[in-house]
């Protein structure tokens, strides 16, 4: 048999084996738990945002949320369990990006695969943050400074300014997309909605409120990155926590920040509900 044919056959067998693993019931259950873990982190970020609105302390980003999770009873168990769940969901999304949507028209297929790939990066990032705290290398310290330092480093690299502006615009556009998804209730098509009218209404309200709040936060964060880069003030690029603090500094900012915090809590609860209702079939 021709050597090239043998290699192709072996690669096909390896791909089939990988797809079988990612289609397993165990991975699906862990991936669903990943939605719940993400929900808990969003809920904590929302609670920290509300605390900041009323003069409290904390870092209103995912590092701050994970730091708070670590202080809970059974903290190490919660960190490792959440890490496993988010890692499984990242793997599930990678499998979607590689193996799924191949029957769709080229343009639609590319869009869905890109979305799955982006989601995989998001959940992989959450998993890495959780692992860093679980192993004791993470820090709930000044994440604004970390974001600023990273911005400075990228700005000094060739093409760094353009890259940061594009990143900021991309995050801001993602925020707008989230907001539209919430208003249009398009998130419902990814769920097996409950039969009870009251339960359906509750899920819809949680999703609408949560997606608009999450979109607002992403829009603010992206605009901060782009504006800070264009004005050559990288110290103003302060990530999610900085975006929420910037909101607090606006007229009626205390109330706006509290409202966004409540919205993020709604999004967190929605993600927990999504763990049960999400359409995972392939």
User: Residue 37's pLDDT is what?
Assistant: 95
Spell out the residues 6+ positions from residue 248 whose beta carbon is closer than 8 angstroms to its own.
52, 53, 254, 256, 257
Task: Tell me the Cα Rg of the chain.
Answer: 20
Looking at the structure, tell me whether residues 69 and 178 fall in a common domain. Answer: no
By CB atoms closer than 10 A (0-12, 13-18, 19+), residue 232 is exposed
Of 74, 106, 141, the last residue of a domain is 141
Confidence of residue 184 (pLDDT cuts 50, 70, 90): very high
272 part of a folded domain: no
Looking at the structure, tell me whether residues 117 and 34 fall in a common domain. Answer: yes
Identity of the highest mean pLDDT range in 97-106, 116-125, 174-183: 174-183
270 part of a folded domain: no
Residue with the bigger pLDDT between 18 and 75: it is 75
CA dihedral 165→166→169→173, nearest 10 degrees, is -170
Of 141, 158, 175, the last residue of a domain is 141
Looking at the structure, tell me whether residues 11 and 122 fall in a common domain. Answer: yes
276 part of a folded domain: no
Q: Assess whether pLDDT exceeds 60 at residue 11.
A: no
Per-residue model confidence as pLDDT tens digits over 39-82 = 999 999 999 999 988 888 888 788 888 888 888 888 889 999 99
Looking at the structure, tell me whether residues 136 and 149 fall in a common domain. Answer: no
The pTM is what?
A: 0.82
In order of 81, 142, 172, 237, 267, the CA distances from 92 in angstroms are 17, 32, 26, 32, 21
Looking at the structure, tell me whether residues 127 and 213 fall in a common domain. Answer: no
Residue with the bigger pLDDT between 237 and 91: it is 91
Q: Assess whether pLDDT exceeds 60 at residue 219.
A: yes
User: Residue 233's pLDDT is what?
Assistant: 65
Residue with the bigger pLDDT between 19 and 210: it is 210
Looking at the structure, tell me whether residues 135 and 245 fall in a common domain. Answer: no
Tally of domains within the chain: 2
Looking at the structure, tell me whether residues 122 and 148 fall in a common domain. Answer: no
Please, are residues 90 and 74 in contact by the beta-carbon 8 Å criterion?
no
Looking at the structure, tell me whether residues 159 and 175 fall in a common domain. Answer: yes
282 part of a folded domain: no
Range of the domain at 82: 1-141
109 part of a folded domain: yes
Q: Assess whether pLDDT exceeds 60 at residue 140.
A: no
Looking at the structure, tell me whether residues 54 and 190 fall in a common domain. Answer: no
208 part of a folded domain: yes
4 part of a folded domain: yes
Of 141, 165, 195, the last residue of a domain is 141
Residue with the bigger pLDDT between 116 and 272: it is 272
Q: Assess whether pLDDT exceeds 90 at residue 89.
A: yes
Mean pLDDT within 146-156: 66
Per-residue model confidence as pLDDT tens digits over 250-272 = 788 889 889 999 999 999 999 99
Looking at the structure, tell me whether residues 4 and 121 fall in a common domain. Answer: yes
233 part of a folded domain: yes
Looking at the structure, tell me whether residues 2 and 114 fall in a common domain. Answer: yes
Instruction: List the single range of 9-13, 89-93, 204-208, 261-265 with lowest mean pLDDT.
Output: 9-13
CA dihedral 250→256→261→263, nearest 10 degrees, is -140
Mean pLDDT within 202-227: 90
Looking at the structure, tell me whether residues 183 and 257 fall in a common domain. Answer: yes
For the chain, report the end-to-end CA distance as a whole number of angstroms: 34
Percent of the chain with pLDDT over 90: 38
Residue with the bigger pLDDT between 217 and 7: it is 217
């Amino acid at each position: 048999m021709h050597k090239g044919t043998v290699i192709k056959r072996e690669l096909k067998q390896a791909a089939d084996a990988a797809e079988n693993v990612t289609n397993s019931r165990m991975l699906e259950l862990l991936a669903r738990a990943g939605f719940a873990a993400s929900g808990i982190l969003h809920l904590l970020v929302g609670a920290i945002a509300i605390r900041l609105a009323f003069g409290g302390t904390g870092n209103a980003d995912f590092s701050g949320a994970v730091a708070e999770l670590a202080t809970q009873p059974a903290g190490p168990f919660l960190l490792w369990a959440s890490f496993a769940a988010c890692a499984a969901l990242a793997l599930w999304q990678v499998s979607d990006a590689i193996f799924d949507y191949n029957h769709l028209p080229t343009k639609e297929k590319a869009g869905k695969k890109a979305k799955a790939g982006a989601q995989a990066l998001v959940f992989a990032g959450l998993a890495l943050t959780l692992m860093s705290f679980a192993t004791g290398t993470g820090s709930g310290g000044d994440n604004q400074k970390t974001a600023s330092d990273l911005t400075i480093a990228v700005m000094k690299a060739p093409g760094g300014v353009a890259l940061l502006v594009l990143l900021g615009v991309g995050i801001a556009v993602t925020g707008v997309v989230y907001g539209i998804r919430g208003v249009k209730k398009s998130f419902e098509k990814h769920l097996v909605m409950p039969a009870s009218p009251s339960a359906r209404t509750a899920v819809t309200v949680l999703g609408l409120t949560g997606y608009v709040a999450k979109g607002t936060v992403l829009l603010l964060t992206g605009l901060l990155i782009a504006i800070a880069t264009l004005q050559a003030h990288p110290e103003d690029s302060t990530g999610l926590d900085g975006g929420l603090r910037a909101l607090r500094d606006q007229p009626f900012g205390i109330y706006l920040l509290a409202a966004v915090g409540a919205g993020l809590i709604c999004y967190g609860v929605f993600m927990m509900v999504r763990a049960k209702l999400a359409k995972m079939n392939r």
